[in-house]
Homo-oligomer: A and B are copies of this chain.
Amino acid sequence: MSAIPPFAWLGIDLGGTNIKAGVVSDAGESLSQVSLPTEPERGPEAGIRRLCEAGELAIERSPLSREQIIAVGIGAPGTMDIPAGMLLEPPNLPGWDYVPIRQLISEHFELPAILQNDAQAAAYGEYWVGAGRGANSMALWTLGTGVGCGIIVNDVIIQGEHSHGSHAGHIIIEWQNGRRCSSGQFGTLEAYCSAYALVARCEEALQAGRESVLAEWRQTEKLTPLLISRAAEAGDALAEELILDTAMYLGIGTTTLMHVINPSLFVIGGAMTFGRNETALGRRFIERVREEVRRRGFPIPAGQTPIDYATLGENAGYIGAAGQARRAFPLPS
């Protein structure tokens, strides 16, 4: 780590399960890291206190004092009004509707704050100091319960007029007879390649009588993406097929995004990435995404656009949230 910088930014990433926080330097270095359980069922008041606690701990564990923190960036899930700094109706945080999160955090720390969508914060983190470092533009997919997305063009996140930009998990890939998405829509990308979609497709295959070790395993264990990936790694043909189909669907969505944005690169992150480059399955997964893009895309962008895994792991969110705070409230000159 370099010399202790005179100023830094605090990033806080509010997830449905954990809150991550850290103090981040002007160069994008994490000077501290904190993880606390969110326990969203305790409601928004307790949640805001927990967010503040995580932020305080991050400052305490960093080599900087509170006076050296310039601003706070918050990443949060679900629908929100970014200019108003307010959560709307986040599906993974029941009861947190219409919480003015930016104002509450800003008042607690007595610092300016910005609110950002979590996938977009993660995208900015990867773009700033991760897999997209040095690129002009980037699109990040976060594969998990849902399919998150963050798009950056010329250093600006595509946030949209109603804070609904970069929500490419909801693009329609099958206008007719499409699978049902948790949002209630049909034929969206998320309806095909989210964690719940993988499990649903697996259920259907097993019910249709497809042979698989999962028919036995599910007697004692819950059918999850992790269980399906363990079956695939043990050589189960159905499990591998279902996972590579997920990659195919993601390749279709990536092709559509390439036609709209044509970013310098695509980055894939999130919990459902099958070990990324560390496992044979993870390497086959991303190769299948690339293959589908080459098959469906136009030759020049499809042949020349890198598609890689994210490199910051679970830290991308708070780093990117701090990075967005740095953009909005730069170093005093």
Contact = CB atoms under 8 A, between A and B. Distances in A.
A262 B172 contact: no
Given A161-B301, A161-B304, A170-B259, 8 more contacts: A160-B261, A160-B262, A161-B305, A162-B305, A165-B261, A171-B260, A173-B173, A260-B260
B256 A160 contact: no
Contact of A260 (B173, B183, B255, B257): B257
Contacts of A305: 161-162
B171 A174 contact: no
Contact of A252 (B156, B159, B163, B175): B175
A161 B259 contact: no
B172 A260 contact: no
Given A156-B153, A262-B162, A296-B185, A172 B173 contact: yes
B162 A153 contact: no
Interface in A159-188: 159-176, 183, 185
A65 to B, nearest CB: 36
Contacts of A166: 260
Interface string A216-259: 00000000000000000000000000000000010010011111
| Residue of A137, A159, A264, A298 most packed against chain B (CB within 10 A) | A298
Contacts of A301: 160-162, 164
A300 B169 CA distance: 17
A160 B163 CA distance: 22
B262 A167 contact: yes
A200 interface: no
Nearest to A264: B161
Interface in A296-326: 296, 298, 300-301, 304-305
A256 B171 contact: yes
